[in-house]
């Protein structure tokens, strides 16, 4: 085996993948080929490689993460054990660790699949496609968790509420119905939605949130608008789904806001998938094994990931080196993004041992 985890991690960070991922995908494929594997690229640009037996009765585990990063690119730097740069912890550090485990694990029975997506930070079509086409007995999703084993996460999606009224000249606004006047009642209604219609508090993920984040509308200062839009962020908890939520919110606002206004609720990204909330049983063998060998806590993850696309199929955990934030503020997605090489090594060892205990 010629794979060098730290060298791959360095080259991966130096390979920009915030605008498009072709070069990073080529690096990944070349690395797999050099190690004697025959990776494939599916129709959504996912890179897949499989080791082990073809016995359909054997256990099948999937290692998943992504090769894209958020902008802007931040150059690679190393200071002792600490590596900085865009993607160092989100998620090229986890990728380096998962690759190491994929190459090094001894497999006695079953299959191990590496499945790496190209668009986790944006559209997530890759993860959705994997969720539709893969079938496994467990999934380990590489993200910065500080080596904790994250078995649950809230769903994440956005939407728009458009209020329609009737335009009028500002000199005599009573001739129309100004939708801006409905923004206050709308925001109040959004704040009360979960108390009246929400799924309640989840025993792991807590309460959902519904947060107004943007207001759009208006035109000439001497004219009231025909419509305005309030956009929101939704962080859901089981058993709520995005489809159920949008239908429920529409019915709720139809009753709560004055009849003089027309109200329409719609998803912010109707052509893209939305990661749903999920929670894997903490007693699932995959959860217990990974927690045992890593020494990490079992907890919920603080952000949305592609793990939600796998959780309905089999026990799913999010695990990896690095942190989303530290005592000084954001780390992942920040200009100060960093990870330690020792944490990447520890993640690799934990995943390899977990794979070997199950396969």
The per-residue pLDDT for range 280-302, each reduced to its tens digit, is: 999 999 999 999 999 999 999 99
236 with 309, same domain: the answer is no
Residue given tokens 């190491």 in the structure block: 100
229 with 325, same domain: the answer is no
42 with 68, same domain: the answer is yes
Of the candidates 253, 257, 229, 71, which has an alpha carbon nearest to the alpha carbon of residue 158? Answer: 229
135 with 162, same domain: the answer is no
Least confident of 172-181, 246-255, 281-290: 172-181
Write the CB contacts of 52 (distance below 8 Å, at least 6 apart in sequence): 58, 107, 109, 110, 111, 112, 359
Domain annotation covers residue 25 = yes
Could you give the number of structural domains in the chain? 2
Q: Which residue segment(s) compose the domain that 261 sits in?
A: 155-267
Of the candidates 139, 213, 218, which has an alpha carbon nearest to the alpha carbon of residue 181? Answer: 218
* pTM (two decimals): 0.93
Of the candidates 358, 304, 319, which has an alpha carbon nearest to the alpha carbon of residue 157? Answer: 304
Domain annotation covers residue 272 = no
Among 217, 242, 267, the domain-final residue is 267
What CATH number is associated with residue 244?
A: 3.30.70.360
What's the pLDDT tens digit per position in 300-323?
Answer: 999 989 999 999 999 999 999 999
> In the predicted model, what is the mean pLDDT of residues 261-290?
95
Task: Write the burial class of residue 173 (CB in 10 Å: 0-12 exposed, 13-18 middle, 19+ buried).
Answer: middle
Of the candidates 32, 271, 255, 7, which has an alpha carbon nearest to the alpha carbon of residue 128? Answer: 271
Residue 139 phi, psi (nearest 5): -130, 135
Reading the block at residue 295, the tokens are 């020494």
Reading the block at residue 181, the tokens are 């006047």
* 125 or 272, higher pLDDT: 125
- Strands 298-300, 149-153: parallel, antiparallel or unpaired by DSSP? parallel
Residue 58: per-residue pLDDT: 85
Contact between 310 and 62 (Cβ < 8 Å)? yes
162 with 186, same domain: the answer is yes
Distance CA 10, CA 159 (A): 38
181 with 215, same domain: the answer is yes
Of the candidates 307, 283, 285, which has an alpha carbon nearest to the alpha carbon of residue 359? Answer: 285
87 with 136, same domain: the answer is yes
CA distances from 227 to 121, 163, 170, 192, 261 (A): 32, 5, 15, 23, 9
328 with 222, same domain: the answer is no
Among 208, 236, 267, the domain-final residue is 267
Phi-psi region of 206 (alpha: psi -120 to 50; beta: other; left: phi over 0): left
Among 244, 267, 290, the domain-final residue is 267
Residue 57: per-residue pLDDT: 74
pLDDT class of 272 with cuts at 50, 70, 90? confident
Residue given tokens 């997605």 in the structure block: 333
- Strands 60-66, 138-142: parallel, antiparallel or unpaired by DSSP? parallel
149 with 159, same domain: the answer is no
Domain annotation covers residue 325 = yes
Domain annotation covers residue 122 = yes
Domain annotation covers residue 290 = yes
304 with 239, same domain: the answer is no
What CATH number is associated with residue 72?
A: 3.40.630.10
Domain annotation covers residue 209 = yes
Contact between 309 and 275 (Cβ < 8 Å)? yes
> In the predicted model, what is the mean pLDDT of residues 137-162?
97
Distance CA 126, CA 143 (A): 16
159 with 142, same domain: the answer is no
129 with 166, same domain: the answer is no
């Amino acid at each position: 085996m010629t794979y060098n985890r730290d060298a791959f991690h360095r080259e991966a960070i130096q390979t920009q993948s915030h605008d498009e991922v072709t070069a990073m995908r080529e690096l990944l494929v070349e690395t797999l080929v050099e190690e004697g594997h025959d990776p494939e690229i599916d129709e959504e640009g996912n890179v897949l490689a499989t080791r082990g037996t073809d016995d359909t009765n054997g256990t099948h585990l999937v290692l998943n993460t992504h090769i894209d990063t958020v902008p802007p690119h931040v150059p690679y730097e190393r200071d002792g054990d600490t590596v900085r740069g865009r993607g160092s912890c989100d998620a090229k550090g986890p990728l380096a660790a998962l690759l190491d485990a994929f190459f090094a694990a001894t497999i006695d029975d079953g299959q191990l699949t590496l499945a790496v997506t190209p668009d986790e930070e944006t559209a997530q079509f890759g993860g959705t496609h994997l969720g539709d086409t893969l079938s496994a007995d467990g999934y380990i999703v590489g993200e910065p968790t500080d080596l904790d084993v994250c078995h649950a996460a809230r769903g994440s999606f956005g939407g728009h509420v458009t209020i329609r009224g009737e335009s009028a000249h500002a000199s005599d606004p009573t001739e129309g119905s100004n939708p801006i006047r409905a923004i206050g009642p709308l925001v109040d209604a959004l704040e009360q939605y979960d108390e009246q219609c929400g799924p309640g508090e989840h025993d792991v993920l807590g309460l959902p949130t519904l947060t107004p984040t943007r207001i759009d509308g208006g035109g000439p200062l001497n004219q009231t608008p025909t419509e305005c839009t309030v956009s929101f962020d939704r962080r859901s908890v089981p058993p709520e789904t995005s489809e159920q939520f949008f239908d429920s919110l529409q019915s709720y606002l139809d009753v709560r806001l004055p009849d003089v206004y027309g109200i329409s609720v719609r998803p912010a990204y109707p052509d893209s998938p939305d990661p749903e909330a999920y929670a894997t049983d903490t007693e699932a063998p995959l959860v217990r094994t990974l927690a045992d060998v890593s020494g990490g806590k079992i907890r919920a993850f603080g952000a949305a990931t592609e793990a939600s696309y796998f959780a309905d199929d089999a026990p799913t955990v999010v695990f990896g080196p690095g942190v989303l934030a530290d005592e000084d503020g954001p780390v992942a997605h920040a200009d100060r993004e960093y990870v330690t090489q020792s944490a990447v090594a520890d993640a690799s060892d934990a995943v390899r041992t977990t794979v070997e205990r199950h396969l």
